[in-house]
Structure 1
Amino acid sequence: MTEPTLVFDDDCGFCTWWAEFFDDRADVRIVGFTDLTPELRERLPENYEDCSHFVTDDEVYSCGASLEEGMARVDDAGVVREAVGFLRNFEDYERLREQGYRRVAHNRDFWGQYLSKTPPVRREE
């Protein structure tokens, strides 16, 4: 794998909005759960459908870390990357990041009213 890849729930309008946000703004490939290759699937955690994942040659970032890494790549040399690096120095940051991710993920129906795109699996050819 040479291109960083965001793996997401391609049957979720809110998730699709975020995936396309990253696709439009960063050098990243987006792949839905339904389009996983065996090689990519092998790199993901066992319960991969529980959240999104950002896969690079060296790492697999899951859940809140996946969106954090995506945001850092949108602004790779700027303030977002610096802020992420700074926040990672704090003991409670990871816990808070993941709690925030879970809170939003468990309310995708609500957030999807504001940020949503037709998921790839529901698009007509």
Structure 2
Amino acid sequence: MAAPRLVYDDDCGFCMYCVRWLLRFGEFEPVGFGELTPDQKARLPEEYDNCMHLLTDDAVYSCGEAAEQSLAHCGRVGAALAGLARQLPYWERLRERGYRFVADRRAIWGRFRSCPNVE
């Protein structure tokens, strides 16, 4: 099985910082929005540039679900944290609202944590 593709906004320093962090703990193939192939774009939702995505051989995860699945691919600790989070009441709703809260404030978070590239 190929490493999951982590699709992110390659114009966002905070997004690249987050992808770099995930790459430290998990095995992913990072793909910026500007590097997407036509086949990869075809698998993504229409407004794909609103959030991150995780492409596996059989599934596409978007936004908060992509963040959760990415964490689950970050070794035993990441998998355990994702598993614990899934036990929370209303987890899916919390996950998506939390993701949207952070994503809508990327410029602010980027003042504190940012990087010019993923590698």
Alignment of 1:105-124 (within 5 A): 105-119=103-117
Q: Secondary structure at the match of 1:7?
A: strand
2:81 aligned with 1:83, yes or no? yes
Runs of 4+ in 1 over 3 A off after TM superposition: none
Name the structure 2 match of 1:26. 26
Residue 11 of structure 1 pairs with residue 11 of structure 2: yes
- Name the aligned partner's letter for residue 84 of structure 1: A
Report the Cα distance in structure 2 between the residues aligned to 1:13 and 1:83, rounded to whole angstroms: 25
Summarize deviations over 1:5-61 as a string: whole Å, max 9, x none: 100000000001111222232110000000000111111111100100011011111
What is the aligned length?
Answer: 118
Matched, 1:97 2:92: no
SS at match of 2:31: strand
For residues 24 and 80 of structure 2, what CA distance do their matches in structure 1 show? 21
Counterpart in the other structure of 1:123: none
Note the residue ranges of structure 2 that are not aligned, 5 or more in a row.
none
TM-score by length of 1: 0.85
| 1:37 counterpart letter in structure 2 | T
Which amino acid letter does the alignment assign opposite residue 46 of structure 1? E
Q: Which amino acid aligns with 1:11?
A: D
Q: Are residue 56 (structure 1) and residue 68 (structure 2) matched?
A: no
| Whole-angstrom CA distance in 2 between matches of 1:57 and 1:29 | 12
Give distance in 2, aligned partners of 1:80 and 1:27. 12
**Farther-moved stretch of structure 1 (11-20 vs 86-95):** 86-95
Q: Secondary structure at the match of 1:111?
A: helix
**% of aligned pairs identical?**
43
The one-letter code sitting in structure 2 at the alignment partner of 1:111 is W
Structure 1 spans left out of the alignment, 5+ residues? 121-125
Structure exhibiting the larger radius of gyration computed from Cα positions = 1
Answer yes or no: is the 8 Å Cα contact 1:11–1:119 preserved in 2: no
**Aligned-residue RMSD, C-alpha:** 1.8
**Matched residue type, 1:73:** H
